[in-house]
Structure formats: structure tokens, C-alpha cells
Amino acid sequence: MLQLKVLPQPDLFLRLLPPAAQAKTLQILINRIFPANTLGQLQPLHGKRFVFRTPGRELNLLMCMDSQGIHISRDGNAQADVTIRGDLGALMALCLGLEDTDTLFFSRRLLLTGDTSTGLLFKNVLANLDFDLKSELERYLGSRAADLLWRMAEQAIAAVEHIDKRLLDVQGSLVQRFGLLSAEQGRTMELELSKLADAQADIMRRLDRRSRATRRA
Amino acid sequence: MHIHEKQRRMVSFGAATICTKLVSTSPNFLKPELVCPAGNLPALKAAVDAGGDTVYMGFRNASNARNFEGLNFNRDEAEAGIAYAHDHGARVFVAVNTSPGIYDASAWTSSIDMASELGADAIILSDMALLGYAKERHPRLRRHLSVQASACNHESLNFYAREFGIRRAVMPRVLTLDAIRDIGSRTSVEIEIFVSGGLCVMAEGRCWLSSYVTGDSPNMRGVCSPAHAVRFEEQEGTLEVKLDGVLVNRFAPDAPAAYPTLCKGRFEACGMEGHVMEDPYSLNALDMLPQIFDAGIAGLKIEGRQRGKHYVREVVATWRAAVDACAADPENYTARPEWMARLDATSEGGDHTAGAYVDEWR
């Protein structure tokens, strides 16, 4: 069974995105992955506000749900009913039902603060979704591509589980071999991307001003 | 084939006893039945798929001892779950094992009615009024005595059998395995014991610690440390757990956390500081399987209806492998390290104990 713990840095792809794009990307992914017929089961959570936060605040997002779907914004410092802190693997495991959340809590990978009743409801409503990630991947990617992806994941898991105690070494060698980013490199890259995004926004503002000035002229 | 001591005794008791026992239990009676937790439909399917003989579940109200927000089954989910289990050759027990208050028992009696209507294989009860109701209204539905009844001796089991026709009893986790074997030898009631999962102070049905602090207990509301009273707060990596404003535990950064129950809190008492009531370990009786087989235990119960499908699948698959290995060759059976590691990895406290089954447990 696919377990995100074996993926060395599951938040890598998010780190490569400018912060402004993270929330939108997650919202699209989650709404695509969750089958439409399960959204009705989230009804008890409508109107509740959940903040997701990774330990270093690389991710700091606000999530709300309504009948239209799941909405994610970057307003991670907003007032929330529940704040859910964990590494991205743990947060995705919680949302997609990929791992037992009590196990994540015991090992301190996941913590819910705020209104514990709402937090427990959130956990149990998600756990009750009869949700099969492989089927959803098939729906989204087609059966052949999903099967290939799944088998690759299973093979990777089998390999990684076999050398579980050396996981960090494997990560290190993967980073060297394939040029993937370490956690520190990821943070640096995010900072650089953030500066680029700010610079881009600044250029857009100037272009917009110039455009308005041109129109006025 | 391995024949347990109890089965040999049954043969000596005569044909009537043999008939009652064999008809009333699963086809797997030569090895104990694996009774697995399900707090929702995905967990039920995981338990069945992983090799559970039987699944136990509750309805979404205060009638069972895991009445947590969003947990348990509504009617449609229960119907689907029972159908899934039966289609795959597994049985379903329904727990209605709390006590109604003094004004309105309708949630409890309607739960019993629903279990019967949906075709549950047995109902797990603790309250005498409800046992009487089930016996009168649904005489064909098997009645099991819940651990919440705290029946600790054979006289008690025989009383419940005589008055309410119980066929099986779940033993409180205060008894040694020798004591359980002795009780089993003095009753025709089948014996079921917990073998895996979370522990508490083992005064099931009589524990009022949660009620003392929060006003709610497992006995009547079905919740120990209800979520409305629990607050987790983290400051610089140190996790503090409060129950209705009372600090009950503090975990250093990266130290394993435990459930926010009063019995597993850390306190200063009698010059000691620490877990004065209960260590946050999980029960694991894998090491004792040959003795458990030999004691003629009918059911091996796995705790954890509050856990998700991944926990259920992992734990049930591990126990399935162990029970089958012990049944195949009990004399050479040993609990494999990888089984222990798999259970420890998902358990509260990350460690295990044989609990009261061995004498040295405190």
C-alpha cells in the first residue's frame, strides 16, 4: 500500500512553485483527486475553517469547505477552528486517508490544536470516505498510466522498505545522483523563487501603470 | 490437529455441550476467532480483507463505548458493512455496551432493534435492562456480555447466562491468563479476551476518572476524555495536554505522545512523579498465543475502533499471520520480531505490555 512516508520529500514539488501558486495548485489537485460523490460526506465540516501549517511554515494555508468543493487560500494566519500542524507527508496522509492519524499523532508528526471536537470530526469524516487512491488515479490519468505509476510506486516502496534504516542515506544519494534538492536547498530555492515572484509582480504592476498611462494618453 | 484443553473438557461433558459450543461459534473454533475493530466502513472492509473472522462495530450515538465525533455507523453504512462482511464469510458483532440514563433509553433500545433488523450475528451488551430487552424482543440474536459489565468470576458469568442467555463474555483486563482459564473451566459461556491495542486502568464499566474531570464517562456517554474537553497546546516543541483546563500531561519535543486520558497523565503523588496510574503502552499478547490457545479462549479481541483503516489492516494482518502460525504448529510457535515491530510502530507509546495476563504487571 502506498505510504507517503517513503517519499523522501513529498513537498518538493510545492517548494518549486512560487508561494502564490501553492494554494491554487493544492486546491486544484485536491478537488480533482476527491471524487465528486464524496464531497457530500464533508457536509458536517461546512463552514469550519482549518489552517494547515508545516513546521517551518513553508506551507501555511487556510482551507474551508462548502457544497461547491474545497477552497484553499494563503490566508494561513486567519482565525481558524482548528490548526493542523505536520510535515506535508502527514498532512496529505490525513487528507487522503493514506495513514492512520493516531499513529502520526503518537509519533509527533501531526498535531491538531484549537477546537478538538472539530478536529476529531475532521479526522473521522475524512477517514470515513470510502476513498481508493488508485481508483482515483485511474479516473484522473487513465488505467494504463495509473497502473504504471502505481507499480512504480510499489516497487519504490518495496525497495525503500527493504533499506528502511538507511532511508536518509538513500535520500542523500538520490539528491546527489539526480540533483534533487535537499531540505535546505529547497528552502533556499523557495526564497529565490519568492523573490522572483515579487519581482514579477513588481514588473506586472509597472506594466499595468504604463498601460493605464498609455490608455489615458 | 491441535485440540485445546477446553475442547477436551467439552468432549468429556457430553454431546449436549459439544453441540451448543460448535453450533454457536465460528467454523474456526479450533483456533480462536479474531474479533476486529471497525469505526467506519473503510475500516470494516480493511478488517475483513486482512483476514478478520469477525468485525465489531457500533452505531453513531451514545449507545457504545466509542462515541466520538464522526465515528461509527449510520443505518446505511451498517447495512453495507454487514453485507460486505457476510459476503466475505465474516461475522459482525454490534456493541450497545453503555448504560442509558434515567430518562430515555430509546437510543439504546432502537440500536438493539436495528442490529437485529440488519442481521448482525451478535450483540454486545453490558446493561442488565438492555440484556433483558434484547432477550425478550430478539431472542434469536446472540447476546454477548461486554467487558463493560466487569464480570470477573464464573458465578457472575453463570448468572448472566442463566438470566439473560449470554453465549459469550469479554473478560475485563484485570485478570491473569491463569485466572481466565480457571473461570472458563467453570462455565459454558465462551470466553473472549483482549489481545491487542490500547489499555486503560482496566476498571471497565466502573471507571469514573473521565467523569470526575469532564462530566462524561465511557459508561454512560461512551466517551473517555470527550473531545470538547481536550486541548492540545504546543510551545517551542513541548506539547501540553489539558482536560477541561487541567494540565494532565506534558511531552518533551519529539517524545512519543499518548491519548489525552487522565489515567495516562503524569502527576506528582506519594513522592513520585510520572505515570502513577497507567503507563501509555499498548497490550500485545502475541508472545502468549500458545497458552491462550491452550486455555480454550473462543475470541481474540483487537481494540481500536477509533483508529483508521490503515491501522486496522496492519494489526489484523499481523494477528492473522500469528494465529495461523500458532494453529499450524503451537509447540514451535514464537512471536516473530517483525510482527512485534509492526504492532509497536502503530501503538500508543511505541511499546507494548502483556498487561494483567502476567503477574508482574503493576
pLDDT tens column, B78-97: 999 999 999 999 999 999 99
CB A41 within 8 A of CB A111: no
Among A142-151, B241-250, B262-271, B345-354, the range with the most confident prediction by mean pLDDT is B241-250
The ipTM estimated for the assembled molecules is: 0.85
DSSP string for chain A: ---GGGSS-TTHHHHTS-HHHHHHHHHHHHHHHS-HHHHGGGGGGTT-EEEEE-TTSS-EEEEEEETTEEEEES-TTS--SEEEEE-HHHHHHHHHT-S-HHHHHHTTSEEEEE-HHHHHHHHHHHHHS---HHHHHHHHH-HHHHHHHHHHHHHHHHHHHHTGGGHHHHHHHHHHHH-PPPHHHHHHHHHHHHHHHHHHHHHHHHHHHHHHHHHH-
CB contact under 8 A, B42 and A128: yes
Residues of chain A that touch chain B, judged by Cβ-Cβ distance less than 8 Å: 1, 3, 44, 85, 97-103, 105-108, 111-113, 116-125, 127-131
Higher pLDDT, A177 or B27: A177
Residue B113: exposed, middle, or buried by beta-carbon count in 10 A (0-12, 13-18, 19+)? middle
Percentage above 90 pLDDT, chain B: 69
Contact A117 B69 (CB under 8 A): yes
Q: Does B88 touch chain A (CB under 8 A)?
A: no
Which residues from chain B sit within 8 angstroms of residue A89, using beta carbons? none
Compare A22 and B223 and report the one with higher pLDDT.
Answer: B223
Contacts of B41 in chain A (CB under 8 A): 128, 130
pLDDT in tens, A81-123: 999 998 877 887 777 777 888 989 988 889 999 999 999 999 9
Q: Give the confidence band of A33 by pLDDT, cuts at 50, 70, 90.
A: low
Chain A residue whose CA is closest to B74: A128
The pLDDT of residue B12 is 35
Determine, for residues A108 and B256 on separate chains, whether the beta-carbon distance falls below 8 Å.
yes
Q: pLDDT (tens digit, 9 = 90+) per residue, B146-156? A: 999 999 999 99
Give me the residue from A113, A118, A127 closest to B308, CB to CB: A127
Residues of B in contact with A101 (CB under 8 A): 308
Residue B161 touches chain A, beta carbons under 8 Å: no
Pick A128's closest partner by Cβ from B41, B233, B257. Answer: B41
pLDDT at B119 over 60: yes
Asked whether the beta carbons of residue A99 and residue B39 sit closer than 8 angstroms, the reply is: no
Q: Given an 8 Å threshold on Cβ–Cβ distance, is B42 in contact with A131?
A: yes
Q: Between residues 60 and 79 of chain B, which touch chain A (CB distance below 8 Å)?
A: 68-71, 77
Nearest CB to B70 within list A100, A107, A124? A124
